[in-house]
Structure 1
């Protein structure tokens, strides 16, 4: 504290002050500037170093390099570094720390290699920096080479170096090597155990993570909040959010990381209401404030629940407690996605104007917002602006824009995909199949599908649905058979597409067989859309009695689509009894819809039940229901 008071007094000195300051004092002042990231004070200290004539001191220059690197001024650090006739390992470490801290992997590795070429022997402070860069970019090959250097330099038993090796191997997916490093460590600290547990969690080995926790306790280490947060994340990753909540209750003072982990977990399994409830409870306590990750997670839940009011409150909170630039840079994409989902596309535009335009995630969110709101032209225009600004798109961009493209623009993107480095990005090719099928080019869609090296469930579903969309029921069923032979198990959507294809192609018996196979062979519980397809299949074929019998045996209450399909078929086949049944059911389902009353009244009249028709009309008048007049819309020119 005395030194900090001295620092405050010194910072008010003019630059021309020439009073006595020792090298020790200057060194301490530079260290304070590094610790507190105060570049302005560091530069003032630099001025005093020049005034006192110690700017040629290699020790002081090294500390200056460290200060500038720690404060983010790498250009000044490099300038001073070049002035050193023989930079020592501490000067190299300062640059390596800057690159590692800022995620500059290639700069970090190339500087490390250059240091070795210069004959500087790495030490226990260098290796963790380089290994961290390898971890962030999952570069196992470079990490293995650094590990060899660790052994050559004889620092493999240093606990900090060992922890960095564990983390590097774990993040690169080499758990065998990670565990080997851990087992060979003579000395371990709590971070060693947490790193190993985190490695198992990140690679989805929950059982091994829990086993490691038991070994940790047997070794005399008690889990801290970091350990609990890691285990909570492990349970959330496999959908065991309630178990994660029980772990959270064991933490005396959960941090915002703990709550954000829980929120993200519940959001991931679709329980967005619980996620928002947790967020609300945290905010109401007022003990900790939400950081950017927490706000983004809460906004994501608002997006899925279309909770506009809650999203606006989070928006207001964010701009109140965070720096505007940082808030919109981090939470901007989630915020504009929330507004888009809630139908407030203009609000989304306003947020988009404030986000970082170099962030491809923000562009993807804006394009998706336009697409979901049916503004295909705006989505394409946004995509074009992105291209003009030379923002590098990713597979999410392409898969988002393709569904709203017409055939001409879709072909252009197809040509771009073939030239770009998307490789075997299955979602991109799936989107191309869908685009061609939607635009009526079913042969082009099948050509893209056939050339795909790898196909996933979505690939097969999209192509089966495309054939069904074009009335090619037999081709759809043939593809379903090929899918079974390929080893990919169909899901509910697969059978929906296949049943719809049968319905549109008049393949009644085949459709009924598929429905039976779905329930008996694949043990899938039919959903409303499957029942609707079967009713539509039977009614299109004129088998109305079978349709009615099927409806009465359904385990779920039939909805308006089922009764509407039955009514349309009854009218087409002049079956008044079934038509009355369907109309009466529609009136019960939607008593506020005047159109159902009018249709039922007409059915009563045609069936000779004039008294029922008059009574129904009077009921309509008594409740104030009036059928809207039909309208026609004619467009000319533009």
Structure 2
């Protein structure tokens, strides 16, 4: 339809007819909706050729055209050349900056607007609120909400609230997102499918299943089914899967668009996370029968299965990728590196790592961690050196992998040196996991006094991982005295962890302190500690979407 508008315009021009001011905005709008900047520039040049100066309506259309096609400089030139501007002019230019992620320019222009005679309308407020939200400036975004409420001539609408809810959820402020949703309902503003989708995702992350189910019910009552499930379906499948309600997840999946790969990916991942691996693989087969080709997210989901099943499955997926010449994101190859290394096949992990064209920090972390976990500490340190020489900056995870590699291989001097480098050269604040690596390294090497001195100087309160590392090393070296110290702390921090009681009891028994061993066993009985029961899963029957 929009192509026809443009074709008609040029046919009329070829016939020698001169368009009026009403025609140009319509033609320029068609170019904008088609994202056809080249054709839009032709029309603009034709206006100049005719000697026509754009009026406010044509100028606004040109600002929108240039902005939405990414030519913000030309859009701002049009804006600056306008002898008169209306609110739409300001809104178009501000929105153009926001859509091109030029948030500072958008906010600067908004401030100029307020200084002048133009009064912001709700579209202006919402656009500025979006700029703050997308930059992660949530306090400023909330301040805009209050200004809308207090301006006296308009009130927040569903776009206002949805922008705020999405902005807080993106920053991980899930509780605040739910509070804003409640405020939205209290203000008698009806949420749309997008805001409900965001709320459902927040409920999943907060593990508040009941609230998520209520949002689902609200969506069914107030939205068209196809619109609601197109937006919120994936979030609902993830929510129900996370709560172990696979039947509900499958029911939602059956309501989703069967032509959308996202629908299939969310259901496949839900099945995998719930342990229904056979059903996930069957669903993958059904997806392919429907003519849908797996994408990188499907492959990532499959790698979750292979990480828990067997090396054979990993190799089958890898062969599938090669056979079908998948041009996958670095993240997928990173996952393959991690999984091959997890199964002890570091040679294949290195082959894949070497073939990654654009290695990122996760690529390096995966291969360094893989070598470290498999006892190749010195090779892991060589790779760490290569990483730094390549210009890739290490992050917290990198140092955790390096310290862990030193621990697995007993590289005491190197471990202490890298811990010192992490804190002094890179200015990283050690995490509990990194402290635990050093405690494990020292205590595995029998340096118990040094390990205790290190623990006493920690900037964090030692947790179970610290004392657990010490207790495990005490068992290896049969250090009864420090085993008692570590166990006492573990009984306080993890009173229901039966493994700690059993380890101390065994240490006492090996030392011939039978009375103490029996005493620990009685302590377990007194606290009602028993081994967890096993359970089995019945594979789920999934009804396919239309």
TM bin (shorter chain):
0.7 to 0.9
Q: Gaps (5+ residues) in structure 1?
A: 1-94, 97-107, 634-638
Distance in 1, matches of 2:510 and 2:283, equals 55
In structure 2, the partner of 1:551 is 455
* SS of residue in 2 equivalent to 1:221: coil
Name the residue aligned to 1:471: 375
Superposed CA offset, 1:228-247 (max 9, x none): 11111111122111111011
Question: What is aligned with 1:518?
Answer: 422
Distance in 2 between residues matched to 1:618 and 1:455, nearest whole Å: 54
> Which residue of the other structure, out of 3, 6, 10, is the alignment partner of 1:116?
10
What is the match of residue 100 of structure 1? none
**Of 253, 275, 300, the match for 1:352:** 253
- Contact 1:124/1:158 (<8 A) preserved: no
CA contact (8 A) 2:498 2:530 kept: yes
- Hey, what does 1:34 align to over in structure 2? none
Is contact 1:232–1:244 with CA below 8 Å preserved after alignment? yes
Q: Which residue of 1 aligns with 2:541?
A: none
Return the offset for 1:174.
2.5
CA shift, 1:508, in A, is 2.1
Query: How far does the alpha carbon of each residue in 1:505-552 deviate from its partner, in whole angstroms, 9 at most, with x for none?
Result: 222221221111111111111111111222222222222222222222
Give the whole-Å Cα distance in 2 for the aligned partners of 1:437 and 1:593. Answer: 29
Query: Does residue 297 of structure 2 align to residue 396 of structure 1?
Result: yes
How far residue 356 of structure 1 moved from its aligned partner, in angstroms, is 0.7
Following superposition, the deviation at residue 389 of structure 1 comes to 1.1
Match of 1:625 in 2: 528
Partners of 1:597 and 1:474 in 2: CA distance = 35
Among 203, 207, 210, the alignment partner of 1:309 is: 210
Q: Report the equivalent of 2:464.
A: 560
- 1:188 corresponds in structure 2 to 85
State which drifts further: 570-579 or 484-493: 484-493
Q: Secondary structure at the match of 2:257?
A: coil
Q: Is the 8 A contact 2:158 2:191 kept in 1?
A: yes
Residues 1:498 and 1:597: Cα distance change in structure 2 (over 3 Å): closer
Q: Which of residues 131, 143, 160 is equivalent to 2:31?
A: 131
CA positional deviation for 1:182? 1.6
Matched residue of 1:250: which SS? helix
Q: Once the two structures are superposed, what CA deviation does each residue of 1:450-469 show, in whole Å capped at 9, x if it has no partner? A: 23332222222222222223
Look up the SS of the partner of 1:186 in the other structure. coil
Q: Is the 8 A contact 2:269 2:301 kept in 1?
A: yes
Task: Find the counterpart in structure 2 of residue 219 from structure 1.
Answer: 116
Pick aligned residue for 1:199 from 83, 96, 104: 96
Q: Does 1:456 align with 2:353?
A: no
Conserved? CA contact 1:576–1:603, under 8 Å:
yes
Supply the distance in 2 between the matched residues of 1:614 and 1:364 (Cα, whole angstroms).
52
Contact 1:407 1:439 in 2 (8 A): no
- The answer (yes or no) to whether the contact 1:464–1:498 under 8 Å persists in 2 is yes
Gaps of 5+ in 2: 150-154, 307-312, 537-546
Contact 1:570/1:579, CA 8 A, preserved across alignment: yes
Counterparts in 2 of 1:4-23, with a 5 A limit?
A: none
The answer as to 2:279 corresponding to 1:279 is no
1:52-82 CA-to-partner distances (Å, cap 9, x unmatched) read xxxxxxxxxxxxxxxxxxxxxxxxxxxxxxx
Offset at 1:613?
6.2
Specify whether residues 466 and 146 from structure 1 end up closer, same or farther in structure 2 by C-alpha distance, changes over 3 A only.
Answer: farther
Give distance in 2, aligned partners of 1:157 and 1:630: 77
- Where does residue 40 of structure 1 map in the other structure? none
Contact 1:473/1:507 (CA < 8 Å) preserved in 2? yes
**Does the Cα contact within 8 Å between 2:204 and 2:238 map onto a contact in 1?**
yes
Measure, in 2, the Cα distance between the counterparts of 1:501 and 1:549.
22
CA RMSD of aligned residues (A): 2.9
SS in 2 for 1:461: helix
Over 3 Å counting, the alpha-carbon distance change for 1:199 and 1:596 in structure 2 is: same
The aligned length equals 518
- Aligned equivalents of 2:53 and 2:355: distance in 1? 50
Partner of residue 395, structure 2: 491
**Is contact 1:311-1:338 (8 Å) kept?**
yes
Alignment of 1:287-436 (within 5 A): 287-405=188-306, 406-416=313-323, 418=325, 420=326, 422=327, 425-436=329-340
Q: Sort the Cα spacing of 1:194 and 1:577 in 2 relative to 1 into closer, same or farther, 3 A.
A: same
Which structure has the higher relative contact order (CA within 8 Å, separation 6+)?
A: 2
Within 2, Cα distance between the matches of 1:459 and 1:451?
11
Output the CA distance in 2 between the equivalents of 1:202 and 1:125. 21
Deviation at 1:417, TM superposition (A): 5.6
Cα distance in 2 between the residues matched to 1:495 and 1:207? 36
Asked whether 1:264 is paired with 2:158, we answer no
**Structure 1, 158-167 or 609-618: larger mean CA deviation:** 609-618
Cα distance in 2 for residues equivalent to 1:435 and 1:597: 33
Contact 1:260 1:294 in 2 (8 A): yes
